[in-house]
Chain A
Amino acid sequence: MAEKIKLYDTSKCTGCRACQLACKQWNALPAGQTYNTGTYQNPPDLQSNTWMLIRFQEMSNGNGDVKWLFRKDACMHCTDAACIKVCPSGALFRTKYGSVALDKDKCIGCKECISACPFDVPRYDPVTDKIAKCDLCFSRIDRGMEPSCVKACPTGALSFGDKDEMIARAHARVKELGGDANVYGDQFVGGTHMLYVLTEKPSVYDELPERPRVPLTVIAWKDWFKPLTLLAAGGVLAGSFIHYLTHGPKDTSGDDQAGGEGGE
């Protein structure tokens, strides 16, 4: 099965939030009481019941011009997904489309993925004691449909298709846009399955890591300590066995009256 990519072109996004709504609708996510805090962005951040949201950001340059940036924030579906790496139960898994999906039944609410994610995406729901995040509408794409956010997008800022085609399209678009435009997502964490075409440099955007990667802590833990533990424990077991065979038990018996071997 070919890997799929959701392409998000910020140069065509109008911040209408049809995607944000469609996500809630398809995934039957309830709304929560919010308040206006001086921005259009609401809910203020990703939540266990808000798997994606549009971030609104104003940017003023020196000469008085203003830009209004919109960014759809949701799971990036990394190829080297730190969350999958750390998930103890296998609840987070890679689908045949390359996306990162969640088997809710398996989730044990350990929250390890939350601190592992370089994009700060997974959210914990204390009511169900499980985490929640975008699964690229696995239930839809597995039936040949596009994700609900893509379906709802009126301007074509969102599109969905085969990996190579989407990457090519993203680069073509960036070429067309020129300036600071760039493709974000194909050069790190093994390539993401949500790809951005950004009109500004990544560093400009709020809450967007400039060079995301699987955290060193996860690598140390999963790539070093985990196999080492196995190696060490196995080595010790094997060593003890060989020791017992070659050296035999230490002779602690003596000739005193209270003698007698251990292990009665």
Chain B
Amino acid sequence: MTNHWNDIENSDCVLAMGSNPASNHPISFKYVTKAMEKGAPLISVDPRFTQTSARADIYAPLRSGTDIAFLGGMIKYILDNNLIHEKYVKAYTNASFLVNPDFKMPGENNGVFSGLVENKYDKSTWSYQTDADGVILKDPTLSDPNCVYRLLKKHYERYTPGVVSNITGTPKDKLIVVYEAYTKTGKPGKAGTIMYAMGWTQHTVGVQNIRTMSIIQLLLGNMGVAGGGVNALRGESNVQGSTDMALLFHILPGYLKTPVASWQTLEEYNRKNTPATNEPKSLNWWKNYSKYMASLLRAHYGKNVTLEEAYRYLPKREDGQDCSWLTLFDNMYKGKFSGLFAWGMNPACSGASSHKVRQALAQLDWMVNVNVYDNETGSFWREPGLDPSKIKTEVFMLPCSAFMEKEGSITNSGRWMQWRYKAVDSPGVAMPDGDIMTELFCRLKERYEKNGGPLADAITRLTWDYGVKDGAGRVRHFDPDYVAREVNGYFLEDKVIGGVLYKKGTLVPSFGLLQDDGSTSSGNWLYCNSYTEKGNMAKRRGNEDRSFIGLYSDWAWCWPLNRRIIYNGASVDPDTGMPWDKKNPVIRWDGAEWKGDVPDGVAAPGAGRPPFIMKPDGVANIFGPGLADGPFPEHYEPLECPIEENLLSPQFINPTIVRWDEVGTGTSVDARATCDPRFPFVCSTYRVSEHWQTGVLTRWAPWLAEMQPELFVEIGSELARLKGFKNGEHVMVKSVRGEVEAVAIVTDRYKPMKVAGMTVHQVGIPWHYGWVTTNMRKYVHGDKVPEVFTGGDSANLLTPFIGDPNTGIPESKAFMVNVERKGV
């Protein structure tokens, strides 16, 4: 989230699209309700009429996977009716930038942008016109046909309500009602917010879905303001935190890039990753890249080794190597892995095309399953129908502590780092993850010290000061407080900066003070300031709000620098420093300094510094050349869809996606079935309030299991009538990759839609279930036997093994299935 949960309350219009916050982020609805009480309309756009829709002022259905068409239509509506926040757009976005005249857009280029070679773009035409000094040429009047604004208008000229309605299945009048309601927030002083979740990301155009909305938010001047922003509702309590800490393969902590083989030296690595700009007034914050990398290396290795050595120790990807989820499991499926730590993960249920994942696990020599409970991953070898004696994988189960059995921090969707305390001891031999890792590390280190090995120093020289050490220098008990401090970072030597002396061993107060000379450490520069000499900021529980817009700046801590609303430099008039919205000011210039939230990127009013300082040019990107699939979002059909053509262009699907079905193994797990009469219905997976992820924590919780005991599939009443299904009967949901048994919930909340003149039915299925239940466990005397057992297997047995070209996130929100009576 660019903003945070409480801030939704400040919104003048809440759009919930690609999300069902009422059900899946129930607490968020506290703030949605508050906004509604103040008169903000709630708009729910969803293929299925959800709990959110039930509360919404406006509900509009759409076909899964057509969000770009829907939102592209909104962009056209904004531009046609001149509803943009003009001053904002001109000052804070690249709308006025002149683009390379050779740049071609899908409307004039067979549905693709210029530069497509095979399935990759050569982005050389996705560039700006510059003057002799390399400064980008701009047209402040936004009239040059090559300026971003004009190109945008041209690009979305094709997204007429008629075409959009034909693609999305949303009735035209509903489209207009939504556009009208939301675009009212383009008025200065008004803010609209978007709450999105996996309904937007899990598509082959996932990133572009969000880009489309970002463009809308920029056009309407909704970024950086209270009640605005682009807000990802995370699917897990600490997804934000784990992403910040390098959950993904391509980033190191703090969104630094993982090194690749061709970046042999630290200097080269920094050079390749430090962006440059010729814009005279841009701050280009990433120019500090090398400081953060140096501090990270220091956090890893301390002063035991030189920065250069430390960089050398870091594992490096091959150039262009993709290690995202799908590729990883594809490689595992092909036998390229010998071992796996499934740590707090249940890929056998959570992975797209779970049959492939389950078969991939059988290719391993060993697997360590670290989890609170046994799950389908740890027990994959005993899945009904499999012969365990034929499976070579040796599986180890390491029971670990649940969240309430250990201490540490969680970073929520709103970037708040909140400290949690241990409530109860772990049962049996279960240990906190930190202790398990410490034990693993110590044994690895001992082994490397004794036996040596390739790059042994990379392990043996790591610092591991995460607790009180025993005589042998080994950490006895993992203490997250030590980690929190290391994440923040220390001065490793006495340092004078700006005339102030910072003593060796003290905590660095802010990332502005991190150095590239090795004199500071920081495990994650974004979190520098989270643990200062005043203490652990995440433990703060001040509940006073001095801001009047619910910032609660003394509650816990928020990255970066406790800034609650990022890009807030754009919430004020660039000339006066006065907030666009006088009632809900995020920051305000009082003549001498900024008041309110920690200001983001702004210099004194009138100084002309563009506030989007994380962008080299200092402005937000309406034209976004950074992505793999185009600088403007373009509608493409999902890999599996019910219609045979893309009504907007000859290019049917996203041309840049990585495909397995054509080049892969040729087995059913990678198959796809688009416009295939065997699989006529569009299907989405989703979640319910009562269960969490693959249900490993919640399916064992009787109170929750009681409320949602079985896998179900929601089917529209009309479809049920056509197929002769009765409510509550067991049916089989089949895709070309697999099938699951589910209870049919026949509902009026799914309605058939008219798409390209055809009637399209859509069904939906939650993915929380799995075949492992405690029912099959042996109980000894005194064990508490759960009162409820759940039924059903993972809906991911159906989902396609295909992902977004930027992130690799699988397309589990739009695929094709059939539903049949059981036994047919």
A and B touch in the complex (CB under 8 A): yes
- Contact status A16-B712, CB under 8 Å: no
Nearest-Cβ distance from residue A85 to partner chain B, whole angstroms: 33
Contacting residues, chain A, for B746 (C-beta < 8 A): 38
Contact B689 A12 (CB under 8 A): no
A68: contacting residue among B33, B49, B706, CB under 8 A: B49
Is B743 an interface residue when CB atoms closer than 8 A count as contact? yes
On whether A36 and B706 interact (CB within 8 A), knowing A14-B55, A66-B749, A155-B33, the answer reads no
The stretch from A24-32, A75-83, A89-97, A221-229 touching chain B is A24-32
Is B69 among interface residues, defined by CB-CB distance under 8 A?
no
Interface of chain A residues 50 through 88 with chain B (CB within 8 A): 58, 60, 64-70
Interchain nearest-CB distance for B41 vs A (Å): 14
Which segment of A39-47, A103-111, A123-131, A254-262 sits at the interface?
A: A39-47
The reply to whether A68 and B53 contact each other, CB–CB distance below 8 Å, is yes
- Sort A-B residue pairs by CB-CB distance and give the 8 closest, nearest first: A38-B728, A31-B702, A38-B727, A14-B22, A31-B706, A68-B54, A36-B710, A16-B26
| A126 to B770 alpha-carbon distance, docked (Å) | 34
Chain A residues near B712 (CB-CB < 8 A): 36, 38
Given that A34-B788, A36-B709 are known contacts, is A58 also in contact with B747, CB under 8 Å in the complex? yes
Residue A252 at the B interface, CB < 8 A?
no
What is the CB-to-nearest-CB distance from A55 to chain B, in angstroms, rounded to a whole number?
Answer: 13
B184 to nearest A CB, angstroms? 21
Separation of A64 and B69 alpha carbons in the complex (Å) = 24
Q: Do A14 and B710 contact each other (CB < 8 Å), given the known contacts A30-B702, A31-B788? A: no
* Cβ 8 A contact of B703, one of A14, A21, A155: A21
Chain B 26-53, CB within 8 Å of chain A: the 1/0 string? 1101101110000000000000010111
Contacts of B726 in A (CB 8 A): 38
Q: Are B787 and A31 in contact (CB under 8 A)?
A: yes
From known contacts A14-B22, A38-B743, infer whether A154 and B51 are also in contact, taking CB-CB under 8 Å. no
Residue contact B743 to A36, C-beta cutoff 8 Å? yes
13 sample A-B contacts, Cβ–Cβ < 8 Å, listed by A number: A12-B33, A15-B22, A17-B690, A18-B689, A31-B703, A34-B709, A35-B709, A36-B709, A36-B712, A36-B743, A42-B707, A42-B708, A68-B749
Cβ A14 vs Cβ B749 within 8 A: no
Q: How far is the CA of A40 from the CA of B708 in the complex (A)?
A: 7
Q: Is A246 among interface residues, defined by CB-CB distance under 8 A? A: no
A43 to B706, CA, bound (A): 7
Q: Which B673-729 residues have C-beta < 8 A from chain A?
A: 688-690, 702-712, 726-729
Give the B-binding residues of A (Cβ under 8 A). Answer: 11-12, 14-18, 20-21, 24-25, 30-40, 42-43, 58, 60, 64-70, 154-156
> Is there an interface contact between A39 and B745, defined as CB atoms closer than 8 Å?
yes
Q: Does B789 contact A (CB under 8 A)?
A: yes
> Which single residue of chain A is at the shortest CB-CB distance from B715?
A38
Which residues of chain A are near B689, meaning CB under 8 Å? 15-18
Minimum C-beta distance from A49 to chain B (A): 9
For B747, the chain A residues whose CB sits under 8 A away are 58
Q: How far is the CB of A108 from chain B (nearest CB, A)?
A: 27
B708–A155 touching, CB < 8 Å: no
Q: Which of B745-787 contact A (CB under 8 A)?
A: 745-749, 751, 787
- Most chain A CB within 10 A, of B34, B705, B747, is at B747
For window 621-639 of B, CB contacts with A under 8 Å fall at none
Q: How far does the Cβ of A211 sit from chain B's closest Cβ, in whole Å?
A: 27
- The chain A residue with its CB closest to the CB of B747 is A58
Residues in chain B near residue A35, CB distance under 8 A: 709-710, 743, 791
Asked if residues A155 and B749 are in contact (CB atoms below 8 Å), the reply is no
A37 contacts B728, C-beta separation under 8 Å:
yes
Q: Classify the interface of chain B: helix, strand, loop or mixed.
A: mixed
Q: Which of A20, A36, A68 contacts B745 (CB 8 A)?
A: A36
Question: How many B residues face the partner with a CB closer than 8 A?
Answer: 46
Contact A60 B748 (CB under 8 A): yes
- List, in ascending order, chain B residues with CB within 8 A of A60's CB: 748
> Most chain-B CB neighbours within 10 Å: which of A20, A30, A35, A40?
A40
In the complex, are the beta carbons of B787 and A30 less than 8 A apart?
yes
Please give, as numbers and ranges, the residues of chain A lying within 8 Å of B705 by CB-CB distance. 31
For the complex, give the distance between the alpha carbons of A31 and B705 in Å.
8
Nearest neighbor of A13 in chain B, beta-carbon distance: B55
- B745 touching A33, Cβ below 8 Å: no
In angstroms, Cα B708 to Cα A31, docked, is 12
Does B23 count as interface, using CB distance less than 8 angstroms? Answer: yes
Shortest C-beta distance, A204 to chain B (Å), equals: 14
C-alpha gap A60/B747 in the complex (Å): 10
Given A21-B704, A31-B702, A155-B29: A15 in contact with B54 (beta carbons within 8 A): yes
CB distance from B823 to the nearest CB of A (A): 18
- List the A residue with the shortest CB-CB distance to B728: A38
Contact A67 B54 (CB under 8 A): yes
- B744 near A: Cβ within 8 Å? yes
Docked CA distance A11–B59 (Å)? 16
Please judge, given known A-B contacts A14-B23, A21-B703, whether A154 and B29 are in contact too, CB under 8 Å.
yes
For the A-B complex with A14-B23, A58-B747, A66-B748 known, give 19 more contacts whose Cβ atoms are closer than 8 Å. Answer: A14-B29, A15-B689, A16-B689, A21-B703, A21-B707, A31-B702, A32-B706, A33-B709, A35-B709, A36-B712, A36-B728, A37-B743, A38-B744, A38-B745, A39-B728, A40-B708, A42-B706, A58-B749, A155-B26
Rounded to whole angstroms, the CA-CA distance of A124 and B301 in the bound complex is 66
Chain A min CB distance to B314 (Å): 43
How many whole Å from A111's CB to the nearest CB in chain B? 24
- A157 (CB) vs chain B CBs: closest residue: B33
**Most chain A CB neighbours (cut-off 10 Å) among B23, B709, B751, B789:** B709
What distance in Å separates the Cβ of A57 from its nearest Cβ neighbour in chain B? 11
CB-defined contacts of A15 to chain B, threshold 8 Å: 22-23, 51, 54, 689
**Nearest neighbor of B50 in chain A, beta-carbon distance:** A68
A38 and B710 CA atoms in complex are apart in Å by: 10
Distance to closest chain B CB from A71 (angstroms): 12
User: Which of B55, B705, B726, B728 gathers most chain A CB within 10 Å?
Assistant: B55
User: Residues of B contacting A18 with CB < 8 Å?
Assistant: 26, 689
Q: Quote the shortest CB–CB distance from A88 to chain B (angstroms).
A: 32
Q: Do residues A156 and B787 form an inter-chain contact, with CB atoms below 8 A?
A: no
Among B26, B53, B689, B707, residue most surrounded by chain A Cβ atoms (within 10 Å): B707
Complex interface: chain B residues within 8 A of A65 (CB): 59
Say yes or no: A14 contacts B54, CB within 8 Å. Answer: yes
Residue of B nearest to A33 (CB): B788
Chain B residues with Cβ below 8 Å from A43 are 706
Nearest residue in A to B786 (C-beta to C-beta)?
Answer: A31
- Give Cα A16–Cα B25 distance, bound, in whole angstroms: 9
Cα–Cα, bound, A15→B54 (Å): 9
Measured CB to CB, the nearest residue on chain B to A156 is B33
Which residues of chain A have C-beta atoms less than 8 A from B51's C-beta? 14-16, 68, 70
